[in-house]
Amino acid sequence: MPSDAPHRDPIETLAAERERLRESHLDGSSGLEQVRALTAAVDAAVSALWSDIAGDRRGVALVALGGYGRGELSPHSDLDLMVLHTGVKGAADEARALFYRLWDAGFEVGHAVRSPAECLRLARENFEAETSFLDARRLSGDETLYQEFAAASVGFSRKRGAKFVAAARAAMEARHAKDGNASCLLEPDLKEGAGGLRDLHTTVWLDRLFETGSATEETGAASMLYRIRNHLHYEAARRQDVLLLHLQQPTAEALGWRAEEQWSVWDAFMRDVYRTTRAVEQRLARTLVELSGPRRRRSRAPVESASHASVRSLREAAEESFGDPWTPAMREAFFSLLRLADSDALRESDDAGALAAYLPEWDRVRNRPQHNVYHRFTVDIHAYETAAHLARLDARADEPLAARAAADVRDRDLLLLAGLLHDIGKGSDGDHSEVGAISAAGIASRAGFDRARTETVRWLVRNHLLLVDAATRRDISDEDLVVELAAQVGDPERLRMLYALSVADGLGTGATAWTSWKSTLVAELFSRMMHVLERGEVASSDARELFRLRTAELRRALSDRHPEDAIETHMHGMSRAYVLAFSTNDLIRHFALMAEPLATGDIRTHVAASGQPGLSDLTLVAADRPGLFSIVSGALALNGINVVSAQIHTRSDGAALEVFRVRPSMDSSIDENRWQRLFDDVRAALRGELGLERMISEKRAAYARRPAKTRPRDPVVVVANDASDFYTVIEVHALDRLGVLYAITRVLAEAGLDIHLAKVATYGEEVVDSFYVRQAAGEKLEAPDLIAALERSILGAVAVE
Amino acid sequence: MNLVIAVIKPFKLEEVKEALRSVGIQGMTVVEARGFGRQRGHTEVYRGAEYSIDFVPKVRIEILCEAGQVQQIVDAILKTARTGKIGDGKIYVVPAEQVYRIRTGEAGRDAI
């Protein structure tokens, strides 16, 4: 056991030296200078300790392995030490004494005591050990023994040849797969990640063993990666190799990065990190291909990889043109690449510089980091992922609706281009969707898209967050919202594209962003909007625009008679579907009827000839109450007026607007007296002074029923919940007779259902009436027992006695 | 101490968060949740493709508070998360035996 050394303790000397080096790091010493100086300081301490413990003798050598052996220690790197011996007695005890000293001093020490033969056996079993021997360096002890071991290690690996290359590739792939593809991850691992130091060292080993000549390019990259890594170690006061989000900005500032136009300090720093790691990654990939290439050719015919072929055709096409607009050959090369559905091919094409002629705008997003917890990739990689997901979305089983929507999109190239460009506005000042829409439209038009297609690309990029934002932040069970969004999209093809883009964008962001939770909400919104569009319930223009336009027209027409805020309140109290369903003239007429507050029992009416002969349009306004529609229907029947169709809209303050298209059942027209009698009857019924039920059955009895020409079919009631997203649709087939509409709607009112829309059609002796209804709280009628009871009641009401 | 757990409609989260902040709540846990109650799942259909929604997406928020704050929190949620339609969700209040802040080891009301 060693006594306390008379000279200054080596550990203390080391600690002082490390403090000094920390200063020089902050003063700007390069990454490689630092790691070499740190190594020298540790060497001095370890050698001093070792000579105290063991002294120099034959048959024992102290050897540094791995990063320490290479002379590249970061402030808190592990020390990989090995005592190499030829069976000398006491070597293990000496080794243990050294390792304890180092542990006590706070080092993480990888330790081993081995003979050269044991080393070789280990190298055969373990690739990591094999490569750590390639970096071995003698610190102290038997020089001859060490030289034999070093020569044997290098000779062993070199002789393994292709097997070593394959092992290096497998290790690289395992490393990259472990934490995703780090050279574009937002929190790159500088050591183990793709393009990190381990990749860089692999390139160096391969060069040393097989003289690939690729190591010379690595000095600059190594110096930069080490400088950042050293800083992380110093700041964290421990081994910290992952460049975490919250460390990026302070590191960039401490290491002297500066902001540039369109690039903040943070973004510029990360861009430079990605540039470096991507270059390291590419050099390793290229080296591996070169080393394994000829061998592969022997076993089977050379296969040109997808990305190589793409790069070649992109280049050839671009060479023969001036870039603006694209030639047909450029278009073909570019869209063929997109259709491959291969994000690596896109990335490799860009890495090879083949996309620059097509998308000079790409500089803005290449290697640009994103500062939120959802994203895992830089903007450009995320764009490749999105485009690739889009191209194969139609085959995705876990997104059945999106798969179908993507398969139905007719203009696939347009969709793929919008997918690639959707985030191209990132990094600019202002809303990235707005800025990106302008750039994307410029690119689309350069790509030879006509005006309509260019406009669609612009629209998709500008609105690429519309569905996801609405689905997660707004009430998608609100019909007004869905109608408004549907009108904003305008047509089913555009909605399909937007939906596919939204899903691909989510999938391309990462699993934390696109949960099945979010997927469900977006699918539900898509499906509802699609139903609105497919049923043609909205005009294909911007609903909000139309709403503003209608309000403005109304104000212009009425502001001399009504205060503007009354018009405003009225418009906002009515549903969007209402505003979009009528013309401005209709709206003006309705407002005139609804402007003044309504007393209970009050009705206001308007009658006009419809465009078609024999048909009249009746508008009736009253304070809403249960059964209002039923009462009006009954009064109409009582006065010999048949209903052709009916719409009901209730303002939020409870003023009900009922719009009927009617025709007389006997006469050719309805005279003024008849209308007056009708309105009097409605008023009386609302006051409860008219026995509608009794009067209708009396009237029915008064008209001898004509004998049916054929045996009447039994009435049928169909209650459907899948026909509308917001209403239960009830369809009644029944024999036409006086007051049948009254009879049905009375049952609906008694069941507590609000009627939103009624469509009445007569086919010979049969009527088919449909009602869009919901319960008082706004829900559909879905309980099976309630549906069954309702069906029975309606059947009872329409049955012919 | 109590744990207030509320299951609400996703789009109400922002509103509820604001309301809770305005009654002085400093922190909460928010989880994307799914489930069903009276509001059952359903199936969305697009041209033959079906997306079956067995569990309806909801947001679950958890707030740790002193007993005296419970009513205020419950009222804020009741007021803001309500749409009056089916599926507005539920609030449960459960006793919390003890609370620790992991960083400092503080316990009890200091840790809330």
pLDDT of A538 reads: 58
> What does DSSP say about strands A79-85 and A109-114: parallel, antiparallel, or unpaired?
parallel
Whether A543 contacts A529, CB under 8 Å: no
Region A346-374: mean pLDDT is 87
Residues linked to residue A114 through DSSP beta bridges, in sequence order: A84
Which comes out higher in pLDDT, residue A228 or A649?
A: A228
- Residue A10: asked if its preceding bond is cis (omega within 30°), the reply is no
pLDDT of A65 reads: 93
CB proximity A526 to B under 8 Å: yes
- Alpha-carbon distance A314 to A337, whole Å? 9
Which residue blocks in B23-108 are alpha helix, DSSP H? 70-81
CB proximity A226 to B under 8 Å: no
Question: What is the per-residue DSSP string for A39-50?
Answer: HHHHHHHHHHHH
Q: Which of A399, A410, A479, A524 to mutate to test the interface with B (most CBs of B within 10 A)?
A: A524
Mean pLDDT of chain B: 89
Grade residue A744 by pLDDT with cuts at 50, 70 and 90.
Answer: very high
Interface confidence (ipTM) of the complex = 0.81
Q: Which residues does chain B have within 8 Å of residue A473's beta carbon, measured at their own beta carbons?
A: 10-11, 14
Q: Which residues of A133-149 are buried (b: 16+ CB within 10 A; e: fewer)?
A: bbbbbbbbbbeebbeeb
Which comes out higher in pLDDT, residue A339 or A533?
A: A339
Positive or negative, the CA dihedral A307, A308, A313, A315 is positive
| pLDDT above 70: percentage of residues in chain A | 93
The string of pLDDT tens digits covering residues A204-253 is: 999 988 888 877 778 889 999 999 999 999 998 889 999 988 899 999 99
Residue A567: which of A553, A583, A585, A577 has the closest Cα?
A553
Q: Which residues does chain A have within 8 Å of residue B46's beta carbon, measured at their own beta carbons?
A: 401, 404-405, 526-527, 530
Two tokens, residue A563: 């205060």
Q: Pick B11's closest partner by Cβ from A405, A475, A722.
A: A475
- Chain B contacts in chain A segment 716-745 (CB below 8 A): 722
Which comes out higher in pLDDT, residue A780 or B59?
A: B59
Phi and psi dihedrals of B90, rounded to 5?
-145, 160
Which residues, including other chains, have CB under 8 Å from residue A429's CB and lie 6 or more apart?
A435
Q: Which residues does chain A have within 8 Å of residue B51's beta carbon, measured at their own beta carbons?
A: 400-401, 520, 523-524, 527
pLDDT of A11 reads: 86
Q: Torsion over CA of A742, A746, A748 and A754, rounded to 10 degrees?
A: 90
CB contact under 8 A, B11 and A476: yes
Phi and psi dihedrals of A196, rounded to 5?
-85, -170
pLDDT of A154 reads: 92
Region A445-465: mean pLDDT is 95
- Alpha-carbon distance B94 to B104, whole Å? 25
Q: Pick B44's closest partner by Cβ from A401, A477, A517.
A: A401
Region A524-536: mean pLDDT is 85
- Alpha-carbon distance A713 to A703, whole Å? 21
pLDDT at position A182 over 70: no
> What does DSSP say about strands B2-8 and A766-775: parallel, antiparallel, or unpaired?
unpaired
Q: Kindly report the length of chain A.
A: 801
Strands (E) located in A317-383: none
Positive or negative, the CA dihedral A474, A476, A482, A488 is positive
CB-CB neighbours of A652 under 10 Å:
11
End-to-end Cα spacing for chain A: 116
Q: Which residues does chain A have within 8 Å of residue B60's beta carbon, measured at their own beta carbons?
A: none
- Alpha-carbon distance A700 to A698, whole Å? 5
Which comes out higher in pLDDT, residue A503 or A766?
A: A503
Predicted TM-score (pTM) of the model is 0.72
Two tokens, residue A638: 């009582």
pLDDT of A711 reads: 61
CB contact under 8 A, B84 and A777: yes
pLDDT of A183 reads: 54
CB-CB neighbours of A755 under 10 Å:
24
Q: Which of A469, A472, A722 to mutate to test the interface with B (most CBs of B within 10 A)?
A: A472
Residues linked to residue A766 through DSSP beta bridges, in sequence order: A735, A763
Which residues, including other chains, have CB under 8 Å from residue A126's CB and lie 6 or more apart?
none
The string of pLDDT tens digits covering residues A662-675 is: 888 877 778 889 99
CB contact under 8 A, A524 and B9: no
| pLDDT above 90: percentage of residues in chain A | 41
The string of pLDDT tens digits covering residues A383-398 is: 999 999 999 999 999 9
Q: Pick A527's closest partner by Cβ from B10, B11, B46.
A: B46
**Angle between helical axes of A412-421 and A492-509 (0-180°, round to 10):** 40
Residue A122: which of A82, A93, A90, A94 has the closest Cα?
A82
**Shortest Cα distance from A771 to chain B (angstroms)?**
21
Q: Pick A777's closest partner by Cβ from B49, B51, B86.
A: B86
Region B27-35: mean pLDDT is 91
Region A319-333: mean pLDDT is 83
Q: Which residues does chain B have within 8 Å of residue A476's beta carbon, measured at their own beta carbons?
A: 11
The DSSP output letter for A215 is G
Give me the residue spans of the domains in chain B. 2-111
pLDDT of A344 reads: 86
Which residues, including other chains, have CB under 8 Å from residue A533's CB and lie 6 or more apart?
A486, A489, A490, A491, A492, A495
- Alpha-carbon distance A346 to A340, whole Å? 9
Region A457-474: mean pLDDT is 93
The string of pLDDT tens digits covering residues B32-86 is: 998 887 777 777 777 777 777 788 899 999 999 999 999 999 999 999 999 887 8
Left if phi > 0, otherwise alpha if psi is -120 to 50, otherwise beta: which for A553? Answer: alpha
Grade residue A403 by pLDDT with cuts at 50, 70 and 90.
Answer: very high
Whether A795 contacts A723, CB under 8 Å: no
The residue type at A161? G
pLDDT at position A790 over 60: yes
End-to-end Cα spacing for chain B: 9
Question: What is the per-residue DSSP string for A79-130?
Answer: EEEEEEESS-TTHHHHHHHHHHHHHHTT--EEEEEE-HHHHHHHHHH-HHHH
Question: What is the per-residue DSSP string for A258-318?
Answer: --BTTB-HHHHHHHHHHHHHHHHHHHHHHHHHHHHHHHHHHHS-----HHHHHHHHHHHHH
Residue A731: which of A775, A766, A696 has the closest Cα?
A766
Which comes out higher in pLDDT, residue A213 or A632?
A: A632
Q: Which residues does chain A have within 8 Å of residue B86's beta carbon, measured at their own beta carbons?
A: 777, 779
Whether A62 contacts A83, CB under 8 Å: yes
- Alpha-carbon distance A427 to A264, whole Å? 9
Mean pLDDT of chain A: 86
Among the ranges given (A214-223, A699-708, A719-728), the one the predictor scored with the smallest mean pLDDT = A699-708
pLDDT at position A295 over 60: no
Strands (E) located in A665-780: 716-720, 728-735, 753-763, 766-775
What topology does CATH give the domain B2-111? Answer: Alpha-Beta Plaits (3.30.70)
pLDDT of A646 reads: 82
Q: Torsion over CA of A749, A751, A752 and A757, rounded to 10 degrees?
A: -50
**Shortest Cα distance from A203 to chain B (angstroms)?**
43
